[in-house]
Chains A and B, each alone.
Chain A
Amino acid sequence: MVANVEAGYIALGIIIGWLTLTAAVGALATARKFKKIATAEAWFVAGRTLGLIVLWLSLGANIYSAYTFLGLPGLAAREGAKVWAVNLYGMIAYLIGFLIIPYMWSKARDRNWLTLADAFEDLYGSKLLGAFVAIMGALWCIPYIQLQIQGIGYIIEESAYGMLDPLMTKIIAFILIALFTIVGGLVSVAFINMLQGALMLIAVWFVGIAAPIIAFGGIDKLFNILESYVTAQPPDSKFSLVFKPKDITWAITLLCAAPLAFWLWPNRVQNVFGAKDIKTTKRNMVLVGIYQISQIPAILVGLTAIALFAQGMINIPVYKKPGCDHAFMLVARCLFPPWVVGLVGAGALAASISTAAALLHVCGALFSRNAYQKIFKPQASGRELVLAARLFTTALAIISLILALLAPGILVYLLLVGYAGIVQFFPAYVFGVYKPGIVTKYGALAGMAAGMATVAYIKIILGKLPLGIYEGFWGLAVNIPVMLIVSFLEKRLSH
Chain B
Amino acid sequence: MSRRKIVFAIILIVAYIPILGLLASNKVEPKISGIPFLWVYCTLWSIATFILLCLTYIVDKVMK
Contact = CB atoms under 8 A, between A and B. Distances in A.
Interface in B21-39: 22-23, 26-28, 31, 33-36, 38-39
Q: Binding site of B, secondary structure by majority: helix, strand, loop or mixed?
A: helix
A283 B38 CA distance: 31
A39 to B, nearest CB: 33
A91 B42 CA distance: 11
Contact of B46 (A224, A283, A285, A293): A293
Interface residues of B, number: 31
A459 interface: no
A286 interface: yes
Contacts of A292: 46, 50
Given A91-B49, A92-B16, A251-B22, A219 B35 contact: yes
Nearest to B41: A84
Contact of A95 (B15, B27, B46): B15
B12 A219 contact: no
B54 A99 contact: no
Contacts of A394: none
B47 A223 contact: no
Contact of B57 (A87, A88, A286): A286
Interface string A79-114: 001001001100110111011000000000000000
A255 B12 CA distance: 13
Interface string B3-24: 0000010011001100100110
A81 B56 contact: no
A289 B53 contact: yes
A242 B36 contact: yes
B26 A286 contact: no
Given A88-B42, A220-B34, A241-B39, A95 B54 contact: no
Given A248-B22, A252-B22, A286 B28 contact: no
A249 B44 CA distance: 21
A242 B12 contact: no
B42 A293 contact: no
A75 to B, nearest CB: 14
A315 to B, nearest CB: 27
A242 B46 contact: no
A401 B52 CA distance: 40
A98 B60 contact: yes
A95 B52 contact: yes
A218 B33 CA distance: 11
A278 to B, nearest CB: 11
B55 to A, nearest CB: 10
A224 B31 CA distance: 11
A296 B47 CA distance: 10
A6 interface: no
A87 B36 CA distance: 17
Contacts of A223: 31, 34-36, 39
A296 B39 CA distance: 11
A99 B11 CA distance: 11
B34 A241 contact: no
Interface centre among A96, A224, A289 (most CB of B within 10 A): A289
Nearest to A283: B57
A98 B49 CA distance: 13
B11 A95 contact: yes
A218 B12 CA distance: 35
Contacts of B31: 223
A128 B50 CA distance: 39
A332 to B, nearest CB: 23
Contacts of B50: 91, 94, 289-290, 292-293
A94 B52 CA distance: 10
A227 interface: yes
Contact of B28 (A84, A220, A227, A285): A227
B45 to A, nearest CB: 6
B47 A293 contact: yes
B26 A242 contact: yes
Nearest to A85: B42
Given A98-B53, A285-B57, A296-B43, 16 more contacts: A81-B38, A84-B39, A88-B49, A94-B50, A96-B12, A98-B60, A219-B34, A220-B35, A223-B39, A242-B26, A242-B28, A283-B57, A286-B54, A292-B50, A293-B46, A293-B50
30 contacts: A84-B38, A84-B39, A84-B42, A88-B45, A88-B49, A94-B49, A94-B50, A95-B11, A95-B15, A98-B56, A99-B8, A99-B56, A219-B34, A221-B34, A223-B31, A223-B35, A223-B36, A227-B28, A243-B22, A243-B38, A248-B23, A248-B26, A255-B16, A283-B57, A286-B57, A289-B50, A289-B54, A292-B50, A293-B46, A293-B50
